[in-house]
Chains A and B, each alone.
Chain A
Amino acid sequence: MTRGRPRVAVVVFPGSNDDRDAADALAQLGAQPTLVWHGSEQLPAVDAVVLPGGFSYGDYLRCGAIARFAPAMASVVELARAGGLVLGICNGFQILCEAGLLPGALRSNASLAFVCRDVPLVVERTDTPFTSRCERGQVLTIPVKHGDGCWHPGPAVGSTNVVLTYAKGHNPNGSVDDVAGVVNNRGNVMGLMPHPEHAVEALLGSTDGALILGSLLDAAHERALAVA
């Protein structure tokens, strides 16, 4: 059977700025992305959801605190609770933590500086739908660009929630235990501060982001087949 194109919803909030980058990267990798406005109460039928980077609602109150209550989020939460695939990138990660779909909270970078550079990430788990194309211990080069990426664990966090860490000595924001990306207990929701959508073309410096987005699409394709 020829591989169909997995359908992915990229939710756009007021202030999101990496939505089209995410959609373009996903399309390049073979997906059928749809930009979904935050005001839509119903998501279209999709195989995965991506919450993109940006400054939704101006980062007012706390990053992602207001976006979590956007009309579209009710559908995203429902999809996640039903086991659907959800990936939050940067602001998307913040929104998922605020929504309680991922453990912990993101705060201001310890340096108080906005950091924009490529960082080396270490893959801690490959048994997730987001890192299946990676090798354990593999180092990925993916850019970060954020001022509030310092992750704090909550009481319920275990080491199995950690999927990606910043390589020793390269933590750009003071995240506890150098955590760069986490997954929920069930393994269907992931958030990461780095931007894989900005690392899918050699021209831009790295294609390592394609490993993460590609893993997501592999899993999305499996789900689409299972339902068909």
Chain B
Amino acid sequence: MLVRPKGGILDPQGDAVRSSLRQLGFAVDTARVGRVVDLELEAASPGEARGEVERMCAELLANPLIESFDIQLVE
């Protein structure tokens, strides 16, 4: 799953990355830095797996105040 800083929130890491890329000559407008958490789990169905990961995000993996998340199922 992917965790990203929520839209509109200051992301100094992203700004630093953007500045560096632009210094290297790349015409980047914005950069925002998140994180990837790869999980392997057993579940009865993709739906159940997704539900489990959503609960993990709500409890631990993401802070809903400042982060948004995306779950990608790879079977």
Distance in angstroms from A5 CB to nearest chain B CB is: 38
Q: Which of A62, A66, A150, A174 contacts B63, CB < 8 Å?
A: A62
Q: Answer whether residue B39 sits at the interface, using C-beta atoms and an 8 A cutoff.
A: no
Chain A contact residues: over half helix, strand or loop, or mixed?
loop
Decide: A104 and B12 in contact? CB cutoff 8 A.
Answer: no
Assuming the A-B contacts A61-B60, A69-B60, A112-B16, are A154 and B10 also in contact, with contact meaning beta carbons closer than 8 angstroms in the complex? no
Residues on A with C-beta less than 8 A from B63 are: 62, 65, 98, 105
| Interchain CA distance A105-B62 in the complex, whole Å | 12
Distance in angstroms from A161 CB to nearest chain B CB is: 14
| Interchain CA distance A62-B62 in the complex, whole Å | 8
Q: Which of A66, A107, A109 contacts B66, CB < 8 Å?
A: A107
Q: Which of B9, B12, B61 contacts A111, CB < 8 Å?
A: B12
Q: Provide the B1-27 mask, 1 if CB < 8 A to any CB of A, else 0.
A: 000000001101100100000000000
Residues on A with C-beta less than 8 A from B12 are: 108-112, 174
A-B contacts, CB under 8 A, total: 31
Number of B residues near A (Cβ < 8 Å) is 10
Residue of chain B at shortest CB distance from A154? B65
Decide: A110 and B10 in contact? CB cutoff 8 A.
Answer: yes
For chain A residues 88-111, which have a beta carbon within 8 Å of chain B?
98, 104-105, 107-111
Residues on A with C-beta less than 8 A from B10 are: 107, 110, 150, 174
Decide: A152 and B9 in contact? CB cutoff 8 A.
Answer: yes
| Interchain CA distance A110-B16 in the complex, whole Å | 10
| Interchain CA distance A150-B5 in the complex, whole Å | 14
Residue among A66, A108, A110, A174 facing the most chain B CB atoms (10 A cut-off): A108
Q: Which of B13, B16, B61 contacts A61, CB < 8 Å?
A: B61
Assuming the A-B contacts A110-B12, A152-B9, are A105 and B60 also in contact, with contact meaning beta carbons closer than 8 angstroms in the complex? no
